[in-house]
Amino acid sequence: MNENVNGKAELYSDAELIKNFPGFENKYTSVNGIELHYVEGGQGEPLLCLPGWPQTWYSLKPVALKLAEKYRVIIVDLRGMGTSEKPESGYDKKTMATDIYELVLSLGLEKVSLMGHDIGGMVAMSFAFNFPESTEKLIVLDGSHPSEGMYQMPLIPSPGKFNEKMDGEMPYAWWMGFNQVKGLPEQLLEGRFHLLQDWLFNYVMIDESKMTEFERSVYAHAYNDKESIRASNAWYQNFNQDIEDLKHYQKLQMPVLGIGSYISYNYMNYGLPFVANDLEVFGIMNSGHYLFEEKPQEVLDIVFKFLDSKKQEK
């Protein structure tokens, strides 16, 4: 793994990886004072896809080609992700959502649907809160806007609840605290990010073999340097600001779809009704956190049904 990450960097460049997305193109643009990388393919109504940690735009590979058969799919590397810029600040979800909003404006789009996973789901929800007039529909997978519930997350796992796989009833996400620490994670993980990444994939997936060795290498390469670790950890270090911002948002009125794994479904089913009026929540209980990789067809079935039914109601 380490040799693959450090010795074959050209394999993990945007130019090489896009070859696995026939019909898609790499694009780069300056918005909100930074440069963003995104890929685009397909035709139809726009669907913006926002990935999570520790992944990049490439995480949409299991579903992107099918989505592009019916939609104009735009997959964005968030601020601090992949080959998008990694500034020193601006990692609160409101600023990150503004990045996406300015991208939408630069593309000449009036309204878009958004689909976000993990951290991407947090940014997608912030977009919907802050720019509702530009949000057609919202889809979040195993990730919703930071809330005060995070303050209840345990410092120490309950007895018997910290095993080889994450416990769905009492999940212990120790990295949420680890990523809060400034300066230390990048010193520990530079050049060896795959150690954390592989442990995480194995812990939060039911079938970790669905995350291929090549995909693991792509993400390890993307997060293997100090700047990338610093920037991505800043997504977590701004949760307090995100929680404060949430107090001032109005309840979402556009159609919202939540998709949860065995880890997150119960929490999403409980929490999302507090922030969304027109809501559907589905659980894919035979999948772990990385739903695109473990259960791509189930995700597509749910997403297409949601998007198509809402189109018919117009």
Task: Give the catalytic positions in this structure.
Answer: 118, 236, 289
Token pair of 147 as six digits: 């809330």
Helix (H) / strand (E) element for 256: namely: strand 256-261
116 three-class SS: strand
CB contact set of 62 (below 8 Å; sequence gap of 6+): 292, 293, 296
29 three-class SS: strand
Say if residues 211 and 290 touch (Cβ distance below 8 Å).
Answer: yes
75 three-class SS: strand
Distance CA 24, CA 73 (A): 9
39 DSSP β-pair partners: 26, 75
Token pair of 4 as six digits: 């693959």
